[in-house]
Amino acid sequence: MSDTIERIKCLIIGSGPAGYTAAIYAARADMKPVMYTGMQMGGQLTTTTEVDNYPGYPNGTDGTAMMNDLQKQAERFGTEVRFGLVTKVELSDKIGGIHKIIVDESKELEAETVIISTGATAKYLGLESEQRLIGGGVSACATCDGFFYKGQDVIVVGAGDTAAEEATYLANICNKVTMLVRKDHMRASKAMQHRVNKTANIEVLYNTELDEVLGESVVEGARVVNNQTKDKHDIAITGVFIAIGHKPNSDLFKGVLDMDEVGYLITQGKSTKTNLPGVFAAGDIQDKEYRQAVTAAGTGCMAALDAERYLGALE
Ligand SMILES: Cc1cc2nc3c(=O)[nH]c(=O)nc-3n(C[C@H](O)[C@H](O)[C@H](O)COP(=O)(O)OP(=O)(O)OC[C@H]3O[C@@H](n4cnc5c(N)ncnc54)[C@H](O)[C@@H]3O)c2cc1C
């Protein structure tokens, strides 16, 4: 039975910058990588038209075009890119053990090494106007998109450390930042709250929620509501930054791989090694700090090198 099951030396789960960079390195090391793309081929960057901070593109680039280039580069060295969703894993805890992977609930594979690069998904509020204007002034990443709002007024929705960090980052670039905090206090650490409070161009509105993003194709303002008094008012802004957290795409690995309370995979020291031998994690799935394409690509490279060394040590 088992001789009919395909055996893969290096299986890569996910087709974002981490997955493709791992593929480029693994293919050049003759590990014959096979990648399963998941439902979002090319990952998160395919949802943006402007990537201005990835090195090597002096005039910036379109996210989808960049991911197509990465795919071509990975394929040039022999990566096999397959459309499919990994739906189940049975990971071995033995050094040199074979990992069982199920794709699309039916196809069974065996893998000597597995690189997990399934990313994380930004959480949104779910308002119709917010969803419609993603890319037209609504963003979930200040580091990525803040620059486009230089000198303008923006709002940040959220009350945790990420929201506080995004607000202070934007305050350096924008004219004014209004933070909408749902409760009567922030969840952010005292240190981050202090940074927010001492930044002159950040205004915090407590007990306040985003009711509607105004504008047809680009953001022209925000209607906010005080959840105590139910009073609504409009704020003239051009950018809306949603900073209410991310969900790492790690449900498949619950109870199998070490993860933090939110679901980010935990890697060992400065490596991409997970708690199981031959299983590595790269990109946003193991990084709640930086979450950038270039950092994802960097850890993708590390994962391929870690996988290559792991296999080398078995010989
Ligand atoms: C709108 C937007 C704009 C951004 N702009 C920038 C920017 O300008 N600059 C920048 O540096 N960063 C930007 N980012 C952040 C950047 O996109 C991420 O940091 C980066 O894409 C993370 O790469 P990744 O490879 O870890 O995962 P992702 O890009 O999240 O890719 C994850 C991949 O895993 C796949 N997958 C998930 N589950 C499975 C499964 N079960 N089986 C198989 N495959 C699976 C998905 O289909 C996807 O291909 C932006 C993000 C967003 C949302």
pLDDT band at 161 (very low <50, low <70, confident <90, very high): confident
Spatial separation of the C-alpha atoms in residues 206 and 224, rounded to whole Å: 11
Q: Which residues line ligand 1 (CB under 6 A)?
A: 13-19, 36-40, 43-45, 47-48, 51, 53-54, 85-86, 117-119, 122, 140-141, 144, 249, 252, 283-285, 291-294, 296
What's the pTM value of the predicted model, to 2 decimals? 0.89
pLDDT digits (tens, 9 = 90+) for 11-27: 999 999 999 999 999 99
Give the pLDDT mean for 95-115. 97
Determine the atom of ligand 1 nearest the C-alpha atom of 38: 44
Q: Which residue's alpha carbon is nearest to atom 3 within ligand 1?
A: 48
Give the pLDDT mean for 235-256. 96
Q: What is the SS3 string spanning the chain?
A: CHHHCEEEEEEEECCCHHHHHHHHHHHHCCCCCEEECCCCCCHHHHHCCCECCCCCCCCCECHHHHHHHHHHHHHHCCCEEECCCEEEEECCCCCCCCEEEEECCCEEEEEEEEEECCCEEECCCCCHHHHHCECCCEECCHHHHHHHHCCCEEEEECCCHHHHHHHHHHHCCCCEEEEECCCCCCCCCHHHHHHHHCCCCEEEECCEEEEEEECCCCCCEEEEEECCCCCEEEECCCEEEECCCEEECCHHHCCCCCECCCCCECCCCCCCECCCCCEEECHHHHCCCCCCHHHHHHHHHHHHHHHHHHHHHHC
- Say yes or no to pLDDT of 32 above 90: yes
pLDDT digits (tens, 9 = 90+) for 41-96: 999 999 887 899 999 999 999 999 999 999 999 999 999 999 999 999 999 999 99
pLDDT digits (tens, 9 = 90+) for 187-204: 989 999 999 999 999 999
The pLDDT assigned to 3 comes to 58
- Say yes or no to pLDDT of 140 above 70: yes
Domain layout of the chain by residue ranges = 6-121+246-314, 124-242
User: Comparing 6-121+246-314 with 124-242, is the CATH topology the same?
Assistant: yes
Spatial separation of the C-alpha atoms in residues 285 and 263, rounded to whole Å: 8
- Which of 3, 30, 52, 141 is catalytic? The answer is 141
Q: Which residue's alpha carbon is nearest to atom 35 within ligand 1?
A: 14
- Verify whether residue 141 is a known catalytic residue: yes
Domain with residues 124-242, CATH architecture: 3-Layer(bba) Sandwich (3.50)
User: What separation in Å is there between the alpha carbon of 166 and the centre of ligand 1?
Assistant: 19
The pLDDT assigned to 48 comes to 81
Beta bridge partners of 223: 212, 234
| CATH 3.50.50.60 fits domain 6-121+246-314 | yes
The pLDDT assigned to 2 comes to 47
User: What separation in Å is there between the alpha carbon of 139 and the centre of ligand 1?
Assistant: 14
The pLDDT assigned to 1 comes to 44
Give the pLDDT mean for 126-147. 94
pLDDT band at 97 (very low <50, low <70, confident <90, very high): very high
